[in-house]
Amino acid sequence: MFLVMLGAPGAGKGTQAKYLQADLGIPQVSTGDMLRAARKEGTELGERVQAVMDAGQLVSDEIILDLIRHRVAQPDASNGAIFDGFPRTLAQAEALGALDGVEISGVLLIDVPDDFIVDRLSGRRTCRQCGTMSHVSYAPTSVEGVCDVCGGETYQRADDNEESIRKRMVEYREKTEPLVKYYSEKGVLRKIDGVGEVADVTSRLRAALEQRS
């Protein structure tokens, strides 16, 4: 089963994909996480994408598609994957549709009004060690700056500042939102209300997946 998580920056794609991967036994494939890992490792790719990411712009389709082709060829993705933050352009969606052995069975659009986005992203903290996300107001860690899951240090992403968030929202509207129509016309899109407790959003996603099957 190959699923796509669609939604504006901060809609909760990553938070929810982590629950769904446990439910479904297929890996979350986050292009954002893959790019951040390359930056952390100091690879040439990491250096190439750093400025673009921090400015809130999209990385080129070519780079992203190379990453995805390599990732879906790994054994753990042979039965499916949950794409989180991919595809983000029509060109990426078309390339995904043309990949051998990858048939998209559902696209889950997490719908969150713009007013919530800056608040969610500016308060987000991520664990440097295990990647678990928290939020200073909505999902605070027990000890400030320390991950509840692994005890690692939490940090604020470089692109979670107001200027970059605004740019990411513009990129989303211009380049990614057209995918809503694209996947609607293919009959695979499900829109889920992304406002409310994290657990309630997870329940809505699970219900949407059950209806689909």
Residues in the chain: 213
Type of residue numbered 75: P
Under rule CB under 6 A, residue 3 binds ligand AP5: no
The verdict on 88 binding ligand AP5 (CB under 6 A) reads: yes
Which of the ranges 11-19, 21-29, 99-107, 147-155 carries the binding residues for ligand AP5, by CB under 6 A? Answer: 11-19
Tokens of 139: 């999902």
| Binding flag, residue 209, ligand AP5 (CB under 6 A) | no
Q: Is 14 in the site for ligand AP5 (CB under 6 A)?
A: yes
Instruction: Determine which residue in the list 59, 91, 95, 99 makes contact with ligand AP5, applying CB under 6 A.
Output: 59
Q: Which of 41, 35, 72 is nearest to 57 (CA)?
A: 35
Q: Which residue is nearest to ligand AP5 (CB)?
A: 32
Give the residue numbers annotated as catalytic, written as ranges. 13, 88, 124, 157, 168
For residue 120, give both structure tokens.
């969610």
82's enclosing H/E stretch is: strand 81-84
Distance CA 6, CA 13 (A): 7
Contact by Cβ (8 Å): 107, 183: yes
CA distance 15 to 134: 9
Stretch that binds ligand AP5, among 69-77, 100-108, 118-126, 177-185 (CB under 6 A): 118-126
Q: Given the rule CB under 6 A, which residues bind ligand AP5?
A: 7, 9-15, 31-32, 35, 52-53, 56-59, 64, 85-86, 88, 92, 120-121, 124, 133-135, 138-139, 159, 168, 196, 198, 201
